[in-house]
Structure 1
């Protein structure tokens, strides 16, 4: 099984008496080869023993392993004498200015607890101590401590004997990661609270916008109906036929408020013309409403308000609405003029709330409204057909 041993067997056979007598004087060469071979085997065996000893686990290799691990270990016997203390534990105690001699160390754990007395993380068998950058222990926690040590104390049984064990751990990275995580959680909590507050503000703004839209709708619908009813009363039209005409007009107030103006623009314009026609106010419409839904809705709101004002304040019997468009749909401008044959405006004419409201409707879409107070009283409105983009730019 070991071919190298064949050479050794041959050399052993060469020193037997029969072989020696047979070789005569040549046997001296065999003796030299014999000595060289055994010297080689002895040196090789010693080298193999050294290598095997380094690879085998011995008491010395176990102690060396305990000394190089990054965990502090201290074993004390019942009298407080150190049975085992590795280099990491010795280093930790030196940083804390505590004794590391091999005498009585029974008070080591109590000294560690005193150093961490004010630390909230400490307990009966666990203490945490912060070290500053100069390696001195401190009790007060700073924002970013340089190093943090955690010591754990317990009792263990070894070979039937009770020993006190103290383990020291470097938990600097874990503690800093925990602090960063706690700070990130706090920032997330603040961001969540801020987001919730912004959501509440958005809800308030949305509620206010809905309220303003409803208020404008109520003003348009009820104001129109009241103006028509006022004209009926002024003209003394209280006969059965007039009451039959005005009854559905008044009953439709709630339905019009619920609809929110969802009908087609042309249909809404027809309803306005029909409603004022009941009180002998003729609304002539020249041209067609623009296809842009937002511009058409603004024109309808202005037509309704202007007709109401003409009926209520100027006692008009005819309102003329002219609609036209300049340019292409993308870059064009929609124009509208509204005039009436009512009584002329006084010299000290002042705008109330109706005209500023109509002007605001046009300006919201990037347009304008001009008033010509001379007879006939005329409103000139111009709104660009890219009003949606203008309104989005303003809102942003």
Structure 2
């Protein structure tokens, strides 16, 4: 170590400054490692970095001894002094630990510092002789660079990673209010969000303990009439302001080896707004459901009434037709016994014909009408095809049946002429009989209203010409009415 005293003063001063700066930077690096959190255990890494800090302190003490012209390298601590050369065995421990870490973490970049640590040990210094000053200069230059690079990486890592300090800063910036206290109620931590909530509720801004705070919050919620305030199983909901609602919850949390009381105030303003909207929507749905039930019941009543009207119409048409045929047959001066069997069959099938079939064959029904009335000598002549719209064709057949029944019952007719056609976008129907002209005004009983109702369902109309020959005229549109139009 004696060769160090041959160095020039500026070089020695530079070494002293470099080693002290490097030692200070290394201490900051160790502190950064202590606050950093990660999955990898840092105990051995921290020990290695601490040994590097001790190495830099010893190097700084060595340079300072040379600068102070002690004549020997000493580590001075107030009244005590230790020969530095015997303390340099710490570098051997650091070199061995560094080698183990380099192998474990596969860090060949650590080779340079491990070599320097191994060279600055008592045996190596004894062998190097006059090269020791250059070794010390190289050591200072290397560790100034290493510490600077380590601090730069620490700053970058600190911006990306989570440390104890950054966790506290994050809690302070949380929108949720947080307060922690010990079992005696003394507040250990309270962020600004919780402080502003409690202040808005009337608590002191410099609140020092939490004893009685929860009971006061419960009392506020119980005294409130209406609104969002309520004591719930999960906590206490309070309206901080017209635009803010908070849910206060409490529990116990373990920090280190001790449990503490924690109270959190969650902002549930948006949830309350959504709940209010849901309640309004539920009320609207209840009202709509009530109206819908009433509408369905009304529709059922209308449907029942329509079914009754249809049955009444079918009873009138079917029974009236059969009775008219039977009446004409009985009035015949010379009834034909063979036709009697057919008339009896018509009477027997009245109940079957009253049933409303699922699929009505308009052509077949029209031929059946012709055949039935021919039994009593009434000829029904049909000219033209039935309409292409099935519902109009069925309606026209019903009109023909009712017109033929009226001709047989009231007109004493022997011939009924039916003309089917199409004109100006409408299907037309004309039914004439050769009975005598009506005397006076025609009284519409059940038959004519039934025919009008039948035609109205397909958008058609009915007109009567009571002069001789007695004529019933009907028309219905070729195209179905658009949805929403009155039929």
TM-score by length of 2: 0.61
Q: C-alpha offsets along residues 290-316 of structure 1, whole Å, 9 cap, x if unaligned? A: 2423333222212221222122223x1
Q: C-alpha offsets along residues 97-118 of structure 1, whole Å, 9 cap, x if unaligned? A: 3124254441211222222224
Structure 2 Cα separation of the partners of residues 147 and 193 of structure 1: 35
Q: Tell me the secondary structure at the aligned position of residue 343 of structure 1.
A: coil
Q: Given the alignment of the two structures, is residue 45 of structure 1 paired with residue 173 of structure 2, yes or no?
A: no
- Which residue number corresponds to residue 416 of structure 2? 320
- Which residue number corresponds to residue 131 of structure 1? 240
Check conservation: 2:428, 2:474, Cα contact below 8 A. Answer: yes
Q: Given the alignment of the two structures, is residue 370 of structure 1 paired with residue 463 of structure 2, yes or no?
A: yes
Q: Which runs of 5 or more residues in structure 1 are unaligned?
A: 21-29, 134-145
Q: Given the alignment of the two structures, is residue 171 of structure 1 paired with residue 254 of structure 2, yes or no?
A: no
Check conservation: 2:387, 2:427, Cα contact below 8 A. Answer: no
Q: Given the alignment of the two structures, is residue 84 of structure 1 paired with residue 189 of structure 2, yes or no?
A: yes
- Say if 1:45 and 1:243 are closer, same or farther in 2 by CA, change over 3 A: closer
Q: Which runs of 5 or more residues in structure 2 are unaligned?
A: 1-107
More helix by share: 2
Runs of 4+ in 1 over 6 A off after TM superposition: 6-10, 33-37, 157-162, 236-242
Q: C-alpha offsets along residues 5-46 of structure 1, whole Å, 9 cap, x if unaligned? A: 689979x99xx77569xxxxxxxxx98x97698378448636
- Say if 1:18 and 1:263 are closer, same or farther in 2 by CA, change over 3 A: closer
Structure 2 Cα separation of the partners of residues 381 and 64 of structure 1: 90
Q: C-alpha offsets along residues 92-142 of structure 1, whole Å, 9 cap, x if unaligned? A: 222323124254441211222222224664147721111225xxxxxxxxx
Root-mean-square deviation (Å)? 4.2
- 1:149 Cα deviation from its structure 2 partner: 0.9
Structure 2 Cα separation of the partners of residues 391 and 97 of structure 1: 68
Of stretches 194-203 and 296-305 in structure 1, the one that deviates more from structure 2 is 194-203
Q: C-alpha offsets along residues 209-261 of structure 1, whole Å, 9 cap, x if unaligned? A: 33332222111000111222333455577896675453212112112223649
TM-score by length of 1: 0.73
Check conservation: 1:218, 1:257, Cα contact below 8 A. Answer: yes
One of 436, 441, 450 as aligned partner of 1:357: 450
- Say if 1:72 and 1:322 are closer, same or farther in 2 by CA, change over 3 A: closer
Check conservation: 1:73, 1:85, Cα contact below 8 A. Answer: yes
One of 198, 209, 212 as aligned partner of 1:93: 198
- 1:148 Cα deviation from its structure 2 partner: 1.4
Of stretches 162-171 and 190-199 in structure 1, the one that deviates more from structure 2 is 190-199
One of 231, 241, 244 as aligned partner of 1:122: 231
- Say if 1:93 and 1:244 are closer, same or farther in 2 by CA, change over 3 A: same
Q: C-alpha offsets along residues 359-387 of structure 1, whole Å, 9 cap, x if unaligned? A: 44445444443322222222233444x15
Q: Tell me the secondary structure at the aligned position of residue 481 of structure 2.
A: helix
> May I ask how many residue pairs the two structures share in their alignment?
366
- Which residue number corresponds to residue 481 of structure 2? 390
- Say if 1:339 and 1:242 are closer, same or farther in 2 by CA, change over 3 A: same
One of 261, 268, 279 as aligned partner of 2:365: 268
- Say if 1:349 and 1:172 are closer, same or farther in 2 by CA, change over 3 A: closer
| Structure label with greater radius of gyration | 2
Q: C-alpha offsets along residues 346-371 of structure 1, whole Å, 9 cap, x if unaligned? A: 13444444334334444544444332
Check conservation: 1:153, 1:164, Cα contact below 8 A. Answer: yes
